Every structure is written in structure tokens, then in C-alpha cells.
């Protein structure tokens, strides 16, 4: 006790600081380890830099997919009929009215739904130039990735407009056609 009575204020502060530093040393060591782990994670080739690189690549992929989707002319599955009718009436195609009965729907394994549309002109004797038919088929497949022409047939008309062309007749460049267009997609989630 005499030691405490003879101790000055400065000596008391030194002893209190020594005891405080001993009590706080585990906390200091824990912070030192945490700083070392964070420094290693942030360093080149660390966990954080790998995570940032993965986030950047995923964001670029998302941007590319979003641009593809927004450039897609066919947005919804229920709009396929309107899409095909709009292409038939396009200035470069100029097919006019086409006959689009209800599509045949086939569901395959994995939840894939195929809708098959049979496309014919409203008037079966109406003739078209090859360029109009070709533009229609090209535009159907070019503006969307979901639709593909899966079957196509065309018949030549003779000079009098009849479909039966004899081998000795020279056909005019007028044609009738029919085709099937298939839309493959996954069903909309509920």
C-alpha cells in the first residue's frame, strides 16, 4: 500500500495505460488480421477482383441480351399472327391478305411449345412474283429469331393463269405458294 501512497499521478497514468493496452491487445490483433484479409482480397488476383470481373462480364452479357430482345420484332407469343400479317402487308413484300388459320400447337419434352402456322394467300389462284415471295420468307426469319420457315411449296402459273403447266408451255414468272412457319418457345410462367 505504501507503493500506491508514494506513486505520483504520472506513474498512475502509466500503470493504467499499460493495463489498458494489455486488455485491448486481442482486439488490436483481430483488427490486424481483418485488415490483412481485406488487403489480400482487394489485391490483384484476390477474391474481390475475381468477383468484380465476374460482375462486369455478367453485366456485359445482360446488356447484349437486352439489346437482342429489344431489337426483336416479335415480342410476345400471342402476337405471332399480327406479326405475320404485318410482314405480308409490308411495302417490300406486298403479298396483301394471307390466310392464317389457327396454329397447330405441339408440346415436346422439356416444356418446349411449337406453334406451326400454315400460310397461304386468301385467293388460291392469286399469283405473286418470286421476289415478293422471297422477301416475305426472308423478312419472317430475319426480324425475329423465334420464327423459322419449316416447309415451303410454290407452283408456277401458265400464261392463261392456270396452275397446271404442261411441259411444253413456258410458264410466266407468276407463282402461287404455301408455307409453314414454326414458332418455338417456352410457355409463359404463371
Question: Which residue from 89, 106, 105 is spatially nearest to 97, judged by alpha carbons?
Answer: 89
User: Across residues 11-15, what is the average pLDDT?
Assistant: 89
Q: Based on the domain organization, do 174 and 104 belong to the same domain?
A: yes
Q: How confident is the model at residue 100 (pLDDT cuts 50, 70, 90)?
A: confident
Q: Based on the domain organization, do 128 and 87 belong to the same domain?
A: yes
pLDDT digits (tens, 9 = 90+) for 138-188: 988 888 878 899 999 988 775 555 566 666 666 677 888 889 999 887 765
Q: Based on the domain organization, do 82 and 155 belong to the same domain?
A: yes
Contacts of 31 by beta carbon, 8 Å cutoff, 6+ apart: none
Question: Which residue from 73, 77, 75, 76 is spatially nearest to 87, judged by alpha carbons?
Answer: 73
Query: Mean pLDDT across the chain, nearest whole number?
Result: 81
Instruction: State how far the Cα of 157 lies from the Cα of 173, in Å rounded to an integer.
Output: 8
CATH of the domain at 98: 3.30.70
* Residue that terminates a domain, selected from 46, 71, 96: 71
The structural domain count of the chain equals 2
pLDDT digits (tens, 9 = 90+) for 58-83: 898 888 877 766 655 555 545 788 88
The per-residue pLDDT for 108 is: 78
Residue 89 lies in a domain: yes
CA dihedral in degrees (87, 93, 99, 104; nearest 10)? -50
Tell me the chain's radius of gyration from C-alpha atoms.
38
* Residue that terminates a domain, selected from 71, 103, 127: 71
Asked if 176 contacts 154 with a C-beta cutoff of 8 angstroms, the reply is yes
User: Across residues 43-49, what is the average pLDDT?
Assistant: 82
Instruction: State how far the Cα of 26 lies from the Cα of 104, in Å rounded to an integer.
Output: 74
The per-residue pLDDT for 77 is: 45
Question: Which residue from 28, 186, 13 is spatially nearest to 111, judged by alpha carbons?
Answer: 186
Asked if 164 contacts 174 with a C-beta cutoff of 8 angstroms, the reply is no
Amino acid at each position: 500500500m505504501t507503493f500506491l501512497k508514494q506513486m505520483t499521478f504520472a506513474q498512475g497514468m502509466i500503470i493504467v495505460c499499460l493495463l489498458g493496452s494489455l486488455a485491448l491487445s486481442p482486439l488490436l490483433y483481430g483488427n490486424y488480421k481483418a485488415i490483412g484479409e481485406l488487403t489480400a482480397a482487394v489485391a490483384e488476383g484476390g477474391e474481390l477482383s475475381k468477383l468484380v470481373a465476374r460482375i462486369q462480364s455478367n453485366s456485359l452479357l445482360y446488356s447484349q441480351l437486352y439489346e437482342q430482345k429489344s431489337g426483336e420484332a416479335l415480342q410476345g407469343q400471342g402476337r405471332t399472327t399480327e406479326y405475320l400479317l404485318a410482314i405480308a402487308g409490308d411495302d417490300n413484300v406486298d403479298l396483301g391478305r394471307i390466310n392464317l388459320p389457327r396454329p397447330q400447337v405441339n408440346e415436346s419434352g422439356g416444356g418446349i411449345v411449337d406453334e406451326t402456322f400454315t400460310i397461304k394467300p386468301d385467293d388460291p389462284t392469286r399469283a405473286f412474283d418470286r421476289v415478293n415471295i422471297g422477301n416475305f420468307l426472308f423478312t419472317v426469319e430475319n426480324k425475329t429469331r423465334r420464327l423459322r420457315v419449316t416447309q415451303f411449296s410454290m407452283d408456277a402459273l401458265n400464261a392463261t393463269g392456270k396452275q397446271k403447266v404442261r411441259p411444253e408451255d413456258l410458264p410466266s414468272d407468276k407463282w402461287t405458294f404455301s408455307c409453314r412457319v414454326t414458332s418455338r418457345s417456352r410457355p409463359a410462367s404463371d
